[in-house]
Amino acid sequence: MEDQRELVVSSAGQDTYARELDVAVRAVQMACSLCQKVQDTSLHSKGDTSLVTVAGWSVQATVSWILCESFGRRNVSILTEEDVQSLSKADATGVLDAVVKTVNDCLTEAPHFGLKGPERPLGSSDVLEAISHCNSIGGPTGRFWALGPVDSMFGFEQGDRYAVSLALIEDGEVVLGVLGCPNYPMKKEWLTYQHRYHRILSKLAPATSESWDKGCVIYARKGSGEAWIQPLHQKNKLLTWPNPAIPVQVSLIDNPALATFCDPVEKPNSTHSFTAGLAHSHGLRKQLLRVYNMAKYVAIARGDAEIFMKFTRTGNKEKIWDHAAGVVIIEEAGGVVTDTGGTPLDFSKGMFIEGVDRGIIACAGAKLHEEIINAIDASWNSSNL
C-alpha cells in the first residue's frame, strides 16, 4: 500500500501509527458509504429499526475484516457495543442474511478506496468470524480498537446526522481517531438547516450541484498537532484514491459572549435547561447548535462551535467508543476536553469512562475551557442535577 498512502502521510509523515491511521480512514470511509445505502433504504421503509441493526452489524463486520486483512487476525481486537453471540442466535438468521449481503456489497467497492477486497464473497461464517474480533474488554495494557458503528440511532432513522467512529487505544491512551459523518455538511452555514431541506433541494438542483456538499471524515493522530478533514469518497466523482484533505483547527474565539456551544439533540442524554441557563447567566448569547452525539466533536474541531457540555445523569456511564476518537481529534486541532473538574478522560478502565466528575466539557481553547469550568462550579449547587 506504499503508493496509496499519500493522504495520511501528508499529515502524519513517517511517524508511528501512520499506516494504522491510513487504514482506519479508508475503513471509516467505506463504513460511511455502507451506512448511506442502508439509510436510504430505511427512508423508504417507514423507520424500520431493523435496518439500523443491519447497518450496525455490517459496519462491525466490514471494519473488522479490513483491519484483520491489513494487520493480521491475531493482532486485531475491537471494543464495541455488540459481540458476535447475539448475531449467532437462531432467531437472528434474517438479520445475519441481510448483514452478509450488505457487507459483500460494500466490500466489492474496496478498490475505489485503495483497498483489496475479498477474493470471493463472504459467507455467514466469514462475517461471524470477522465480528468475533469485536471481543475486547479494553483496559490499561495492550492494543485495541474502539468502534462506534452507528452513533445516533435517532439521527439515522430520521435521515439526519449520525457518525461512525474508530479509535486506536494503546496502553490506555488514545493514539488515533477517525470520525465519519455522512450527513454533516462541509459548509458551516448549512448546519442550521434540517437534513430534510437538503433532500428537497437535491431534487430541485442539478445532479452536479455542490450546494450542499455533505459528508466528511475527520481524523487525527496523537502528538501530531494536526487534524485533517476530507469529503466522503464518491466513486462517481473521484475515480482514484486518495481524497483531498485539508487541515482543520478549533476556533480562536475565547470570549464566552461570542462563543457558540452545541447541545445534544436527544433529550434523555442531555440537560438542556441547565446548559441554556448557564449560557445565559455567564454571557453566552449566541444560539445553541443542536447536534447528534459525536457530531459535536466535529463541530468543535473544525471551528463550527466553541463549547460542548454534556452532564452525566446519576447512574449513567459514558462508553469509550462514544468519545475516544472525538477527544484526540479536538486535542490535535488545538482544543481541550476534560470532565467538569478539569481532569482528562480516562480510557483505560474497560468499556466505560470511569471517574467522570459530573460531565464532559470540550472547548476550543484552554482560556475558554477554564472560564466554562469556573462557570459550571459557580452554578452547580443550584442546578438540581
Tens-place pLDDT, residues 109-147: 999 999 999 999 999 999 999 999 999 999 999 999 999
CATH code of the domain covering residue 267: 3.40.190.80
The verdict on residue 251 lying in a domain is no
Least Cα distance to 24 among 6, 8, 4 occurs for 8
Indicate whether 231 and 280 sit together in one domain: no
Q: What is the spatial distance between Cα 44 and Cα 51, in angstroms, rounded to a whole number?
A: 11
The verdict on residue 384 lying in a domain is no
Q: Give rounded-to-5 percent helix, strand, coil for the chain.
A: 45, 20, 40
Least Cα distance to 325 among 168, 156, 136 occurs for 168
* Rg value, the chain, Cα: 20
Largest CA distance in the chain: 62
Residue 120 phi, psi (nearest 5): -140, 160
pLDDT score at 209: 43
pLDDT score at 211: 45
Q: Where are the beta strands (DSSP E) in the chain?
A: 78-79, 143-151, 163-170, 173-185, 214-221, 227-231, 246-248, 261-264, 289-291, 307-311, 318-319, 336-339, 352-353, 359-363
Indicate whether 358 and 211 sit together in one domain: no
Residue 61: alpha-carbon gap to chain centroid: 17
Indicate whether 184 and 90 sit together in one domain: yes
Indicate whether 327 and 375 sit together in one domain: yes
Indicate whether 139 and 283 sit together in one domain: no
The verdict on residue 326 lying in a domain is yes
Indicate whether 162 and 117 sit together in one domain: yes
Q: What is the spatial distance between Cα 141 and Cα 170, in angstroms, rounded to a whole number?
A: 7
The verdict on residue 312 lying in a domain is yes
Indicate whether 78 and 193 sit together in one domain: yes
Residues of the chain with pLDDT under 70: 1-14, 42-49, 90-91, 152-160, 186-213, 235-240, 263-288, 290-292, 313-315, 381-385
The verdict on residue 269 lying in a domain is yes
Answer whether 60's CB lies under 8 Å from 78's CB.
Answer: yes
pLDDT score at 9: 39
Residue 184: alpha-carbon gap to chain centroid: 11
Q: Which of 177, 207, 237 marks a domain boundary?
A: 237
CATH code of the domain covering residue 108: 3.30.540.10
pLDDT score at 80: 94
Indicate whether 189 and 288 sit together in one domain: no
The verdict on residue 283 lying in a domain is yes
The verdict on residue 127 lying in a domain is yes
Domain range enclosing 193: 2-237
134 contact partners, CB below 8 Å, separation of at least 6: 60, 64, 78, 79, 80, 82, 83, 84, 147
Which set of grid coordinates corresponds to residue 203?
A: 431534487
Structural domains of the chain, count: 2
Indicate whether 267 and 209 sit together in one domain: no
Answer whether 34's CB lies under 8 Å from 66's CB.
Answer: no
> Kind of pairing, strands 261-264 and 173-185?
unpaired
Indicate whether 134 and 218 sit together in one domain: yes
Q: Which of 202, 237, 272 marks a domain boundary?
A: 237
The verdict on residue 350 lying in a domain is yes
pLDDT score at 148: 94
Indicate whether 232 and 260 sit together in one domain: no
Indicate whether 213 and 298 sit together in one domain: no
